[in-house]
Amino acid sequence: SAAEKGGHDYFMLKEIEEQPEALANTLRGHFSGGSVVLDEQRMTEQDLRDIDKVFVVACGSAYHSGLLAKYAIEHWCRVPVEVELASEFRYRDPVLGRDTLVVAISQSGETADTLEAVRHARTQHARVLAICNTNGAQIPRESDAVLYTHAGPEIGVAATKTFLAQVAANYLVGLALAQARGTKYSDEVEREFSELAAMPEAVRRVLATVEQVRELSRETADSKAVLFLGRHVGYPIALEGALKLKELAYMHAEGFAAGELKHGPIALIEDRLPVVVMMPSAKGRAQLHAKMLSNIREIQARGARTIVIAEEGDETVRPFADELVEIPAVPTLLQPLVSTVPLQVLSAEIARTRGYDVDKPRNLAKSVTVE
């Protein structure tokens, strides 16, 4: 009923609105006296301290959240991190041992590919930490440590609030690892941690501005394809934006690292092709920002219709944006928590304009329990 859906036609739209709360719930209870606490821990502090390599394994949207873990954990902890699709992981015989931490991310905790990756890791004596949204699911049961996202049940097949919760959970794992290793934080890292707590409010502010995204979505609904470009943490978000559009609107959509454009994908640009650009922070990542500006200029000159997601107050980008969507300015690593929201609205709204059921996209199941 409409009441169950919080007055919306679809659960997905309700779940998009629930994100500030979901994020707050993920953060709540995992901080105590300035340090991170996991929900379950069957490994010792010493085990955690000895970790010298991290693999993140997951599928779909969870994999995209995992790509962000690499940016955070390497930067914060100085431990090498590899992120891998769970379905590929065990088949290539990865190098694993007692000092390897495998972070398995799964909303359902029942995804067969991820579960088998966990089982393989354990046979190789690696430690496994699960990030999961479902209490007592199989993946957390078979792991050495668990961090539950507590985002609440998600009915829509497309991951929304659980994706944001996974991103935050990845950062908490990074923080837990940094603490166990006694890493000395820089001021920048301190600021990133302290602003994590302010993110539910930042997401609330983005939600208040999405009407503009709804409008521009309707104008995009009859395009034959949409491209997404990002750099640094904007790159996994470009991949996630493209996945959402495929899943919900059945449109051809691709996410690219903007630096790869001239190595091939720029050949796809044609007149009026919508290209969504995730703009890096002007202050936080000035170099990347400048490079992205020149990427936008290049594609606009070739006729693309540029839809630019940028920090509020970023005036430099305005001349190159056919559509400019503003998001709150937050520390770089936290930007995905706000920049994902307009992409969710974009894909849901395009799908609705095309007449599709966004809660139950064709051919997809919420939880994939076969490999």
Angle at 262 between CA 341 and CA 59, to 5 degrees: 40
What are the residue numbers of the active site?
366
Please give the size of the binding site for ligand AGP, defined by CB under 6 A: 16
> Which residue reads 């640094």 in tokens?
232
Determine, following the binding rule CB under 6 A, whether residue 170 of this chain makes contact with ligand AGP. Answer: no
365/146 Cα distance (integer angstroms): 24
Judged by CB under 6 A, which of 87, 100, 111, 179 binds ligand AGP? Answer: 111
d(CA 184, CA 219): 49
Quick check: 169 binds ligand AGP (CB under 6 A)? no
Among 19, 87, 108, 281, binds ligand AGP (CB under 6 A): 108
Does residue 151 bind ligand AGP (CB under 6 A)?
Answer: no
| Interaction between residue 364 and ligand AGP (CB under 6 A) | yes
Asked if 143 interacts with ligand AGP (CB under 6 A), we say no
Q: Which stretch binds ligand AGP (CB under 6 A): 100-108, 254-262, 318-326, 327-335?
A: 100-108
Question: Does the footprint of ligand AGP cover residue 79 (CB under 6 A)?
Answer: no
Report the C-alpha gap between 86 and 369 in whole angstroms: 13
C-beta of 103 vs 299, nearer to ligand AGP? 103
- Rounded to a whole number of angstroms, the minimum distance from the CB of residue 174 to ligand AGP is 19
Stretch that binds ligand AGP, among 102-110, 142-150, 191-199, 202-210 (CB under 6 A): 102-110
One-letter amino acid at 361 equals P
Tokens 């559509």, located at residue: 323
Distance between CA atoms of residues 356 and 134, nearest Å:
28
138 part of the interface to ligand AGP, by CB under 6 A? no
What is the DSSP secondary-structure string of 270-309?
-TT-EEEEEPPPTTTTHHHHHHHHHHHHHHHHTT-EEEEE
**At its nearest, how many Å lie between ligand AGP and the CB of residue 132?**
8
The Cα 169–Cα 158 span in angstroms is 19
Residues 223-282 that bind ligand AGP (CB under 6 A): 247
From the number of C-beta atoms within 10 Å of its C-beta (0-12, 13-18, 19+), residue 272 rates as exposed
For residue 22 the two structure tokens come to: 């979901």
363 CB burial (10 A radius; 0-12, 13-18, 19+): exposed
Q: Is residue 84 part of the contact set for ligand AGP (CB under 6 A)?
A: no
Alpha helices in the chain (DSSP H): 11-17, 19-27, 45-49, 60-77, 86-89, 112-123, 138-141, 161-181, 187-196, 199-207, 211-220, 234-249, 286-301, 335-353
The angle formed by the CA atoms of residues 298, 337 and 34, to the nearest 5 degrees, is 135
Determine if 104 is a binding residue for ligand AGP (CB under 6 A): no
Please report whether residue 107 would count as binding ligand AGP according to CB under 6 A: yes
Question: CB of 59: closest distance to ligand AGP in angstroms?
Answer: 4
Q: Does 368 bind ligand AGP (CB under 6 A)?
A: yes
Sole window of 34-42, 221-229, 304-312, 362-370 interacting with ligand AGP (rule: CB under 6 A): 362-370
The smaller minimum CB distance to ligand AGP, of residues 62 and 338, is found at: 62
CB of 368 to ligand AGP, least distance (A): 5
- Provide, rounded to whole angstroms, the least separation between the CB of residue 304 and ligand AGP: 26
Residues 159, 169, 278, 321: which binds ligand AGP (CB under 6 A)?
159
Where does this chain bind ligand AGP (CB under 6 A)?
A: 59-62, 106-108, 111, 114, 157-159, 247, 364, 367-368
